Structure 1
Amino acid sequence: MEESFPFKYSLLEYLFTLVGLLLFLLDIVLDIWTVVSFYQDEAYVYMGVMIFLLVGSSVLLQVFSWLWYSDSLETKLDTKVEEFANGHLLIKPLHFFQLGVYLRYAGVIEISTTRFHQKANSFIEGVAVYLNHDLQMLRLFEAFSESAPQLILMMCRTLQRGELELITGLKILSSAAAIAFTVAMYHRCMRSFLEEKRKMSWISTGIYFLWNLLLIIPRVTALALFCSVLPCYIIAHFLSLWMLLVLGVWSQKTDHMESPGWEWLYRATVGLIWYFSWFNVSTGSMKLKTILYYGVMGLDTMMLLGFWCWKVFEYTGCWRSLNPYIAIPTLLVLYIAGILLKIIYYKWFHPNCDEKKIAKPIEQQKIRQSAAFYGDMVTDSLVSSSGAVAATLAQPVTGVLKRGRNMAANFY
């Protein structure tokens, strides 16, 4: 990694990774508890949908994790735990048994711990940043393929039972906050690619989290309200809008995966994220894209709320739980407030820079190969300086290096 753009992996980010692992494990326990609760209440349809969401999201994450590992299996991996798993042919079985994400957590924690026990090294920090990027991206996929649909399912169940209590409302709010927090953590991960903006203030993070929360709440609430009165039509709504969104991602000419065939899986996943929230996947001016996106999603949200208001009078349970004349204006105010707060963030807090200023890594394999010719002292120099030899070894990168830099370029 060149010294002109050294990577930094702070202790706080390391702690967030540990907390993320604990929350990931806690989420599994809560998911099992929810499935058991649906079974005890004899809500077998909800239980079936819940299991489908859990299995579908887990398989999606394992597929992406395995594809990203496959990019580097022929070369030496970055951590001992990954090398051990690869040497004993365990990476594929671990992903088959839905344990690939835990392997990634172990790798990030290992190299992060190594970074804090050894002398500061920009290469080790860079590896930690890139591995953490893949992990945060998988968590982002999980948030919108599992957590957001689960939140809609929970809200729909609550509305149909007509039991909107304070504790239930707090649970719903905390679930929405967890999704927005995941998005904010991905946002902090992207900041590692810029030198002058790396020390990001908590005010910036707080604003980023808040505008995402204010936009996610009206969206998932509108979907839950629509589903509570017209449950048979929510699948048709999702498929029709999702296919339109996937075509929108395709029009951006994304190049995230190594294989053109698997690129469509990535586009389909981004389309799923767009169904709930905005996620930039291409470089260039973002103003027109965001205006178009929020215009379409705003009209769609209004349509969902309109159908709910039309049908809600036939469902006395939903009527007792939520008054349309209060709920709809409140959701619209939250949506508009979220957009205004996003404008404030991008005007005063978001770093805008040239793509050329995003940190460029030197491939680890190139550095290892150089050791045989230049010796260890020169190799260390390659890692920590921007000398002529380092410039010579800089090559077009693939795998995690390509993904990280492309997403950083899109983000900024």
Structure 2
Amino acid sequence: MPLDDELHFSVLDLIFIWLGLVTFLFDLGTDVWVLAYFFLAGDYFWGGTVLFLIIFCSVVVQLFSWFWLAGDREQLRDRSHPELSPALKCEVGDRVLRLLHGLQLGFLVRYATALELGYRAYKEGNTVVLQYTIYLVSDISMLRLFEIIFESAPQLILMLYIIQLRNQMELHQYFSIVACFLSIAWAHLDFQKSLRRSLRNKMRLGFMSAVSYFVFNLLFICPRIFSIALFASIFKFYVLLHFALIWLSMFIWAWRQGTDFMNSYPEEVFYRGTVAVILYFTWLNIAEGKTSIRQIIYHSFMAVDCGILVGFWWLYKDPVLTTSYMLPLVIAISSSYLLGLIVKCMYYKYLHPTVTTEYSLTDETDSLQEDGFRSTCESRPLINERMKILANSFCSPKPEGNKLHSNIVETQI
């Protein structure tokens, strides 16, 4: 697998953008279906809960989309590079964009713009348009990760809670649960691929590497969701206290890592709060430093926390209603988390691109410019600095925070 320093855009890339749009619309349709199911069945409480989660998730995603578009477009207009104008002409005006985001349509606008630019890049071979397409797709992958975690994870907990409450599972619930788990794992994989594409001299994931990355994320998210759902089935109000305590801990952790990801301080606080929600469910590295040490701390903490949640459920469960599945479920949760650790260790030991590829590091550094999210250079005038910051967060040798002015040597993600 060679080092990938050249920009490419193929039919397969266009297909992946289309698939992303289709899955987004499919998830939206599933949400409407679930809402209709609850309201038609007279379950207004659960229907209202799902509706709140959908609206809250959409508002968060639209806010991030608008923050990034507003800041980036202003900075790109200030660039003196003459090749930037063709890409910027593809987008609508600021007032229209603001209105579309207010109507919760900003994410769809991003997909539509990426498809238009991607087709132009494929047909015309315009380098700047190609770079701007990758630039937008990178943001889409991160927004998609936010959307999946904020929406699918709580919905999974809610569905599992209702199944335990009614002691039965309907066919549509089974398919919804499987689809949500697969969507979360896929969003992680897509995000990882976008991270790699945001750095020069990086290596893409091979097939087996991508499969193992998908598998261990799936194996980690399943026990986390199930342990929370089990705890919620007994202590439905205390789960909110549990979320608040863990979220606060993760928010402090994100704060201590000194992230510098957004345009302004209030936006940065909002970003750290959002990251804390993601960390409640799954791992996400957001700053430079010893990634292995952070992951060991995080997974150890999550293992203990899941054990406590399942332990409380075990002590206070109904022995009659749960006798058919309590022991197999506990074994499955424990085995899934342990197997996830094993697969993840095997990935970093045998399947990580820096292991499967022979290459040599040079003294070249990948500087993050001080003048905002995007940087201009002779070879790649458009680089998504947000994704580059996160990509470098997985590989920096020193825990000095991910400030935009840091000089970082690329090693591995």
Tell me the distance in 2 between the aligned counterparts of 1:200 and 1:173.
25
RMSD after superposition = 2.8
Deviation at 1:12, TM superposition (A): 2.3
Task: Return the TM-score normalized by structure 1.
Answer: 0.84
Residue in 2 that maps onto 1:323: 325
Tell me the distance in 1 between the aligned counterparts of 2:4 and 2:226.
46
Superposed CA deviations along residues 329-374 of structure 1, whole A, max 9, x for unmatched, are 211011000011111112223345789565989999968xxxxxxx
Cα contact 1:214–1:334 (8 A) shared by 2: yes
Tell me the distance in 2 between the aligned counterparts of 1:283 and 1:80.
32
Residue in 1 that maps onto 2:114: 108
Say if 2:85 is the partner of 1:85.
Answer: no
Say if 2:320 is the partner of 1:337.
Answer: no
Alignment of 1:292-331 (within 5 A): 292-313=297-318, 316-317=320-321, 319=322, 323-331=325-333
Tell me the distance in 1 between the aligned counterparts of 2:85 and 2:350.
37
Alignment of 1:200-349 (within 5 A): 200-313=205-318, 316-317=320-321, 319=322, 323-349=325-351
Tell me the distance in 1 between the aligned counterparts of 2:12 and 2:341.
29
Deviation at 1:57, TM superposition (A): 0.3
Tell me the distance in 2 between the aligned counterparts of 1:224 and 1:172.
13
Q: 1:71 to 1:232 in 2, by over 3 A?
A: same
Tell me the distance in 2 between the aligned counterparts of 1:33 and 1:171.
10
Deviation at 1:236, TM superposition (A): 0.9
Residue in 1 that maps onto 2:45: 45
Residue in 1 that maps onto 2:101: 95
Residue in 1 that maps onto 2:80: none
Deviation at 1:45, TM superposition (A): 1.9
Partner-residue secondary structure (3-state), 2:290 = coil
Tell me the distance in 2 between the aligned counterparts of 1:366 and 1:287.
32
Tell me the distance in 1 between the aligned counterparts of 2:384 and 2:91.
22
Residue in 1 that maps onto 2:391: 408
Cα contact 1:8–1:126 (8 A) shared by 2: no
Deviation at 1:199, TM superposition (A): 4.2
Cα contact 2:157–2:226 (8 A) shared by 1: yes
Gaps of 5+ in 2: 78-83, 355-360, 395-412
Residue in 2 that maps onto 1:379: none
Superposed CA deviations along residues 33-88 of structure 1, whole A, max 9, x for unmatched, are 1111111222222112111100100000010011001113334487768755216x
Deviation at 1:184, TM superposition (A): 0.7
Tell me the distance in 2 between the aligned counterparts of 1:33 and 1:284.
44
Tell me the distance in 1 between the aligned counterparts of 2:353 and 2:161.
39
Partner-residue secondary structure (3-state), 1:94 = helix
User: Which range moves more in the overlay, 188-197 or 94-103?
Assistant: 188-197
Deviation at 1:258, TM superposition (A): 1.2
Q: 1:81 to 1:21 in 2, by over 3 A?
A: farther
Task: Return the TM-score normalized by structure 2.
Answer: 0.84
Q: 1:52 to 1:169 in 2, by over 3 A?
A: same
Relative contact order higher in (CA < 8 Å, ≥ 6 apart):
1
Tell me the distance in 1 between the aligned counterparts of 2:100 and 2:171.
41
The percentage of aligned residue pairs carrying the same residue is: 30
Q: 1:79 to 1:289 in 2, by over 3 A?
A: farther
Partner-residue secondary structure (3-state), 2:392 = helix
Tell me the distance in 1 between the aligned counterparts of 2:374 and 2:202.
25
Deviation at 1:196, TM superposition (A): 5.5
Tell me the distance in 1 between the aligned counterparts of 2:12 and 2:68.
26
Partner-residue secondary structure (3-state), 1:200 = coil
Q: 1:359 to 1:201 in 2, by over 3 A?
A: farther
Tell me the distance in 2 between the aligned counterparts of 1:132 and 1:204.
21
Say if 2:166 is the partner of 1:161.
Answer: yes
Normalized per residue, the structure richer in helix is 1
Residue in 2 that maps onto 1:373: none
Superposed CA deviations along residues 360-406 of structure 1, whole A, max 9, x for unmatched, are 89999968xxxxxxxxxxxxxx457xxxxxxxxx8xx9xx7321221
Tell me the distance in 1 between the aligned counterparts of 2:243 and 2:86.
40
Deviation at 1:265, TM superposition (A): 0.8
- Counterpart code for 2:113: G
- Counterpart code for 2:18: L
Q: 1:150 aligns with which of 155, 160, 171?
A: 155
Tell me the distance in 2 between the aligned counterparts of 1:196 and 1:70.
29
Alignment of 1:375-394 (within 5 A): 382-383=378-379
Residue in 2 that maps onto 1:350: 352
Q: 2:193 aligns with which of 174, 188, 194?
A: 188
Q: 1:64 to 1:41 in 2, by over 3 A?
A: same
- Counterpart code for 1:221: F
Deviation at 1:166, TM superposition (A): 6.7
- Counterpart code for 1:151: L
Cα contact 2:259–2:287 (8 A) shared by 1: yes
Deviation at 1:173, TM superposition (A): 2.3
Tell me the distance in 2 between the aligned counterparts of 1:179 and 1:82.
34
- Counterpart code for 1:131: L
Tell me the distance in 1 between the aligned counterparts of 2:129 and 2:288.
28
